[in-house]
Amino acid sequence: MTPHAPLVLASGSPRRLALLEQIGVVPEHLFPAELDESPEQGETPVALAVRLARRKAEVARERFRAEERTAAYVLGADTVVATGRRVLPKAETSEEAHACLTRLSGRTHRVVTAICLITPGGKVREKRVETRVKFKRLSRAEIAAYIASGEWKGKAGGYAIQGLAAAFVIEIIGSHYGVVGLPIYETATLLAGEGYPVVESWGGDAPGAEDAA
Contact 142/169 with Cβ under 8 angstroms? no
Domain-wise residue ranges, the chain = 7-204
3-class DSSP string for 171-184: EEECCHHHHHCCCH
DSSP-derived pairing of the beta strands 7-9 and 73-83: parallel
**Torsion angle of alpha carbons 57, 60, 64, 67, nearest 10°?**
160
* Cα torsion angle, 196, 202, 203, 207, sign: negative
Structure confidence at residue 210 (pLDDT)? 39
Distance set, CA 184 to CA 18, 30, 171, 187 (Å): 11, 18, 20, 5
Residue type, 67: E
Cα 175 to Cα 172: distance, rounded to the nearest angstrom? 8
Catalytic residue annotation: 78
Residues of the chain with pLDDT under 70: 1-3, 204-213
**Torsion angle of alpha carbons 131, 187, 91, 29, nearest 10°?**
180
Give the distance, in angstroms, between the CA of residue 61 and the centroid of all CA atoms in the same chain. Answer: 18
Contact 162/176 with Cβ under 8 angstroms? no
Question: In b/e form, how buried is each residue of 168-189, taking b as 16+ CB within 10 angstroms?
Answer: beeebebbbbbbbbbbbebbbe
Structure confidence at residue 211 (pLDDT)? 42
Contact 107/134 with Cβ under 8 angstroms? yes
Structure confidence at residue 204 (pLDDT)? 55
Cα 16 to Cα 58: distance, rounded to the nearest angstrom? 18
Structure confidence at residue 4 (pLDDT)? 80
**What spatial distance separates the first Cα and last Cα of the chain, rounded to whole Å?**
24
The CATH label, of 3.90.1150.10, 3.40.50.150, 3.90.950.10, 3.40.50.2000, for the domain at 7-204 is: 3.90.950.10
Structure confidence at residue 70 (pLDDT)? 84
Structure confidence at residue 209 (pLDDT)? 35
Structure confidence at residue 44 (pLDDT)? 96
Q: What is the pTM assigned to this prediction?
A: 0.89
Structure confidence at residue 22 (pLDDT)? 94
